[in-house]
A and B are shown apart, each in its own frame.
Chain A
Amino acid sequence: MAEIGFKKKKKIEGPKKLSIDVGDGAAIPSKEDVGLFTAWRVAFFGSIALIAYLVFIKRGAYIEIIQFVPDGILITFEVTVMSIGLALVIGLFTGLGRISKNPIINGIASLYVEVIRGIPLLVQLFYIYFALGRIIQMPPLPSAVLAMSVCYGAYMGEIFRAGIQAIPKGQTEAARSLGMTPAQSMYHVILPQAVKTILPPVGNEFVALLKDSSLVSILAVADLLRRGREYASQSFAYFETYTMVALVYLMITLFFSKLISIMEEKISAD
């Protein structure tokens, strides 16, 4: 599960505090990080080359697999995009709840974050699909999306909280002194500024979620991994199948990491 590497910006300048920033999304390359950049290049183009080699030169099972899994890739994207969208909404409200001065709202938001972060995602998936299934029976896909977004919403909440708190207090004071309500100052002044700091860790979460979405295959959601398993169990070509599945995941993940790092650069540029 992703750990959030997000540090609050210090107002007072001074020697930087030593901190280690490790996310479990694919490492997002930055321009200065020349070593990482080449590593990204090798891995990304390597995975593409290897897929091409296996499909077009080795053929055999590989060509069958690549024809078998595309609808699974689509489901993987579907789950990822829907979950991240819902997680962002949950995260926004959780983050606002966490900074709320109302003890009840604050308590609920904090409790949610603590509880969710303490339970493995796989257990949450089982819980929502099988355990809660006795009360409300939902089809696998909505269950999966719900579980993923409830889980990632907790992490997003912490990102939103940190991003909002990183905006200097004077901004809120200026907005309020002009007669804006707390909601107006949050919407017009604080959130638009917080987006800049929030976007990089959100991108990280997106990549992490993309990978974690493979867990939903356990709920009979026909995602990339599930489709691979289906093919393997009928053809017994386990080595070929999981090699292809791993390479496809790698390629997709690295592609998005790069996309996010380009977006980040664009945002910090202006």
Chain B
Amino acid sequence: MQTDGRRKMVEMKGVTKYFGALKALDNVSLDIYDGEKVVIIGPSGSGKSTLLRSINRLEEVNAGTIIVDGFNIYDQAVNINKVREEVGMVFQQFNVFPHKTVLENLTLAQTVVRKRSKTEALDVANKLLDKVGIREKSGVYPTKLSGGQQQRVAIARALAMQPKLMLFDEPTSALDPEMIGEVLEVMVKLAKEGMTMIVVTHEMGFAREVADRVIFMDYGVILEEGSPEHFFKNPTHERAQQFMRQIL
């Protein structure tokens, strides 16, 4: 699966998804390469979250094929849980586990899914807590943390699985403005380390700093693709121009 010397991490072909009568994704095809950072933008209801969630099959699509890390995720023979181990996901609402401490949030899937030993999992967890800057909160329950801290726990939890690909579904949309920076900072750091990232966000500053490619979606269709600069300077599609005016 080599193309221009780069390996495809995600390969979507003709993906269509309905919510009842509503067409959320309309024959979408998209390739994401290893190490690439892609930012998806678009108005609410444009299908960008659905697209992201279909990549780890949190959303079941009605038609098309999705190949992640070389595995066709709709193939009966493919164990979706194995694929998900390699695909980290960060949610808008954080979804940290409130009944587990910060440290336990990070070790749970490592021990249960990756079958790591307790000491190994703790070692990975502590390193990641250092990385996201909340090592001192490791024994605390997440409900005691701010939104920004919870989201950093959620990112660390996903990273603890050492995934090959990270999906971010509007990771800063539920945050108070003063906490957005601390989360973006972690994401930028991750991008600089070479992680393959697909990020649904309206943070154009983030896009400008790390994105290799920006994708603009509306009505379940990819209307325009280009560099962040392209979208800042002269988006061609009328809907994209309109959208950029609204968010900048």
**Partner-B contacts on A (CB < 8 A):** 168, 170-171, 173-181, 184, 188-189, 192-193
- Determine whether the beta carbon of B97 is less than 8 Å from that of A174: yes
- Within 8 Å by CB of A178, from B82, B98, B113, lies B113
- Report the minimum CB–CB distance from A44 to chain B (whole Å): 34
- Within 8 Å by CB of A179, from B81, B91, B96, B98, lies B81
Kindly list chain B residues whose C-beta atoms are within 8 Å of the C-beta of A193.
97-99
Kindly list chain B residues whose C-beta atoms are within 8 Å of the C-beta of A170.
91, 93, 95
Kindly list chain A residues whose C-beta atoms are within 8 Å of the C-beta of B93.
168, 170
Q: Report the interface size for chain B: residues with CB under 8 A from the other chain.
A: 25
Near A by CB (< 8 A), chain B positions 152-182 give 154, 157-158, 161
- Determine whether the beta carbon of B97 is less than 8 Å from that of A179: no
Q: What 9 A-B pairs come out closest when comparing CB atoms?
A: A179-B85, A174-B95, A178-B109, A170-B95, A177-B89, A179-B113, A179-B84, A179-B81, A192-B99
Question: Does B87 interact with chain A (Cβ within 8 Å)?
Answer: yes
- Report the minimum CB–CB distance from B162 to chain A (whole Å): 11
- Report the minimum CB–CB distance from B207 to chain A (whole Å): 23
Kindly list chain B residues whose C-beta atoms are within 8 Å of the C-beta of A181.
81
Kindly list chain B residues whose C-beta atoms are within 8 Å of the C-beta of A177.
56, 58, 84, 87-89, 158
Question: Does B108 interact with chain A (Cβ within 8 Å)?
Answer: yes
- Determine whether the beta carbon of B97 is less than 8 Å from that of A189: yes
Chain B minimum-CB-distance residue to A174: B95
Question: Does B112 interact with chain A (Cβ within 8 Å)?
Answer: yes
User: With A173-B58, A188-B108 as given contacts, are A180 and B95 in contact (CB-CB < 8 Å)?
Assistant: no
Inter-chain CA distance A81–B82, complex, in Å, is: 42
A/B interface sample: 7 pairs, CB < 8 A: A168-B93, A170-B93, A171-B95, A173-B89, A174-B154, A175-B109, A178-B84
Chain A minimum-CB-distance residue to B86: A179
- Determine whether the beta carbon of A188 is less than 8 Å from that of B112: yes
- Report the minimum CB–CB distance from B21 to chain A (whole Å): 22
**Partner-A contacts on B (CB < 8 A):** 56, 58, 81-82, 84-85, 87-89, 91, 93, 95-99, 108-109, 112-114, 154, 157-158, 161
Chain B minimum-CB-distance residue to A181: B81
User: With A179-B81, A192-B99 as given contacts, are A174 and B112 in contact (CB-CB < 8 Å)?
Assistant: no
- Determine whether the beta carbon of B58 is less than 8 Å from that of A178: no
- Report the minimum CB–CB distance from B116 to chain A (whole Å): 13
Inter-chain CA distance A174–B94, complex, in Å, is: 9
Kindly list chain B residues whose C-beta atoms are within 8 Å of the C-beta of A189.
97, 108
Give the one of B88, B95, B108 with max A CB within 10 A. B95
Kindly list chain A residues whose C-beta atoms are within 8 Å of the C-beta of B158.
177-178
Inter-chain CA distance A175–B100, complex, in Å, is: 13
- Determine whether the beta carbon of B108 is less than 8 Å from that of A176: no
Inter-chain CA distance A90–B143, complex, in Å, is: 33
- Report the minimum CB–CB distance from B20 to chain A (whole Å): 18
Chain A minimum-CB-distance residue to B111: A188
- Report the minimum CB–CB distance from A235 to chain B (whole Å): 55
Chain B minimum-CB-distance residue to A193: B99
Chain B minimum-CB-distance residue to A171: B95
Give the one of A176, A179, A189, A192 with max B CB within 10 A. A179
- Determine whether the beta carbon of B161 is less than 8 Å from that of A178: yes
Give the one of B91, B112, B114 with max A CB within 10 A. B112
- Within 8 Å by CB of B82, from A173, A174, A179, A188, lies A179
Kindly list chain A residues whose C-beta atoms are within 8 Å of the C-beta of B91.
170, 173-174
- Report the minimum CB–CB distance from A62 to chain B (whole Å): 50
Inter-chain CA distance A170–B113, complex, in Å, is: 19
Kindly list chain B residues whose C-beta atoms are within 8 Å of the C-beta of A188.
108, 112
Kindly list chain B residues whose C-beta atoms are within 8 Å of the C-beta of A173.
58, 89, 91, 95
Chain A minimum-CB-distance residue to B109: A178
Kindly list chain B residues whose C-beta atoms are within 8 Å of the C-beta of A178.
84-85, 108-109, 113, 157-158, 161
